[in-house]
Structure 1
Amino acid sequence: MSSSFEKYQKRRLISSYFSVVLSIALVLFLLGVLGLLVLNAKKVSDHFKEQVVVTIYLKDSAKEVETKQLEKSLAMADYVKSTEYVSKEQAAESMKAENGEDFMDFLGFNPLLNSIDVHVKADFVTAEQLEKIAEEANSKSFVDEVRYDNDLVTLMNNNVKKISFWILVLSGLFTVIAVLLINSSIRLSVYSKRFTIKTMQMVGATKQFIRRPFVWKSVRLGIIGAIVALGGMAVVLYYINKTFPELNLLQNPVLIGLLFAGIFLLGIVITWISTFIATQRFLNLKTDQLYY
């Protein structure tokens, strides 16, 4: 009978420890993923901004030397990330592939123009900067037209500002939630030992002596939970970097290392503080108050 009760108690204890570790790991994992998002928010927004294309259409009368000169000057400009020359033949093939039919069969000629697709650096993707770039290109006598999606640029910049604001708000809110959830799990774990705490106190053990094993046990659980969370973060980071290599998420390993270290230390600090407060509360209670 005694052996069965001991096994039952041991299973309850293991289940309690498992739930604490799982709570800590889940909360720290979500907080870590949010941290990765915060660290790479600008990089992600820059990536989408740099997909905006400014297309410079050239007149049929444009000489090859003029086109080459324009390409060279664009490549050297501080606002340009990359350029690509698209001949009218290439443009016709693209339209044919996109529409599934050759429009030149109906027209008998190719009405398209040679063009240069310019990918602008993210910092210059604003309505004002793109207008200046368009005016500069239009000043060339052999340039027919400059096109870009101004509405898309305005919408993108507005959304980036809104998303950045809400990411910061959510980061602060989620940090508070993380602390409260971990604190709640630790308190429940200590609560199950409240009678043991009071018994030790009644036989003369000091508060520091009683508190120490609880604190170290919780810290160990916090370390295990943090390691599980970091493993999950590493898997997420690996797959995102593999799926979107153009984002270069591993370009700054120092910042990522600091984030991982911060999550690990957070798991230790929160569990230590939570256990200290929880044990202190039960140490200060009178015996008859333990039943409420």
Structure 2
Amino acid sequence: MSSKFESYQKRRLASSYISVVISIALVLFMLGVLGLVLLKSTTVSNRVKEKIAFTLFLKDKVNRKQINGFKNSLVKEDFARRIVYTSKAQAAKKYSKEIGEDFLTFLGENPLKNGIDIYLKAAFVTPEKMEVLEARFLKNQFVADVSYDKPLINLLTEHIQRIGFWLFVLSGFLALVAIILINSAIRLTIYSKRFNIKTMQMVGATKSFIRKPFIWQGIKLGFIGAFIALIGVGVVVYYIDVFAPSLRLLKDYITLSYVVGGVLLAAFIITLFSTFFATQRFLNLRTDELYY
């Protein structure tokens, strides 16, 4: 009879462990995918920003030596990611190709100016910082005019901020749900052992001694759930890379390492604190309260 009861208890305990691992895995999978979206959206938005050119049109009196010196000084600036120089002759050829005829034959001279396209680092592609750069270069002795797409910059910044805000709200909500679900699953597991906890406490075991095996067990279950979640995230990453190869997810080792590290860290922190507070609750209960 006792052997049947013990086997029943073991099956019940194994079932509770499996449910905890599945709960942790599902929640961490959602967090992992959301983290991937957050990190990759930042990468994509930065890539879009860094394709926007900030063009300086140079004065006609500026000679080649001065242009080269000016280019070299721009390369050393913190905001510059890439510098592209376009002579007025190259600009004329490009414009003639776009309109389908040589406009110089009608005008007799080239009205275009030598230009330097500055491709800024993503952090500097904001309306405020670009206005500061515009004001600075308009005072430069070599620069005749400055050109960049102000409406596009404003629109891009507005959309990125809006998307970032809602992703932040969603990530906060899912993090809260993750904590609640994992905490509930771990509490149910410890609830089944509440009488063992109280018995150990009654024979003189300290609270830290009683908590320790439960905490290690919770962390172990958390890492198992995290491993399963990362397998799921890996499958998602693989199929995204197949259907959207331009994102280069499989080669983005920095983003992937952040996701893996974040999932493992979340598993450790949530299970550690959930197990600690769950065991603490039952340690503080009176014996007659264990039946409720």
Return the TM-score normalized by structure 2.
0.63
> What amino acid maps onto 1:104 in structure 2?
E
Q: Which moved further from structure 2: 148-157 or 69-78?
A: 69-78
Q: Distance in 1 between matches of 2:286 and 2:246?
A: 52
Q: Distance in 1 between matches of 2:230 and 2:28?
A: 8
Cα deviation code 1:112-169 (max 9, x no counterpart): 7653221123343333442343355455687564321112223334445555555554
Q: Distance in 2 between matches of 1:134 and 1:205?
A: 75
> What amino acid maps onto 2:176 in structure 1?
V
| 1:179 CA displacement | 1.5
| 1:69 CA displacement | 4.0
Q: Distance in 2 between matches of 1:256 and 1:200?
A: 36
Q: Distance in 2 between matches of 1:204 and 1:274?
A: 16
Say if 2:265 is the partner of 1:262.
yes
> What amino acid maps onto 1:250 in structure 2?
I
The equivalent of 1:99 in structure 2 is none
Check 1:5–1:250 CA distance in 2 against 1; reply closer, same or farther (3 A cut).
Answer: same
- Give the secondary-structure state (helix, strand or coil) at the position aligned to 1:250: helix
Aligned pairs, how many?
278
- Give the secondary-structure state (helix, strand or coil) at the position aligned to 1:104: coil
Say if 2:91 is the partner of 1:88.
yes
> What amino acid maps onto 1:148 in structure 2?
Y
2:101 to 101, 104, 108: 104
The equivalent of 1:24 in structure 2 is 24
- The Cα RMSD (Å) is 5.3
Check 1:113–1:11 CA distance in 2 against 1; reply closer, same or farther (3 A cut).
Answer: farther
Q: Distance in 2 between matches of 1:14 and 1:127?
A: 58
| 1:286 CA displacement | 5.5
Identity of aligned residues (%): 36
The equivalent of 1:243 in structure 2 is 247
Q: Distance in 1 between matches of 2:78 and 2:101?
A: 38
Q: Distance in 2 between matches of 1:282 and 1:199?
A: 13
Check 1:21–1:274 CA distance in 2 against 1; reply closer, same or farther (3 A cut).
Answer: farther
- Give the secondary-structure state (helix, strand or coil) at the position aligned to 1:83: strand
Return the TM-score normalized by structure 1.
0.63
Q: Distance in 2 between matches of 1:120 and 1:203?
A: 65
Say if 2:148 is the partner of 1:148.
yes
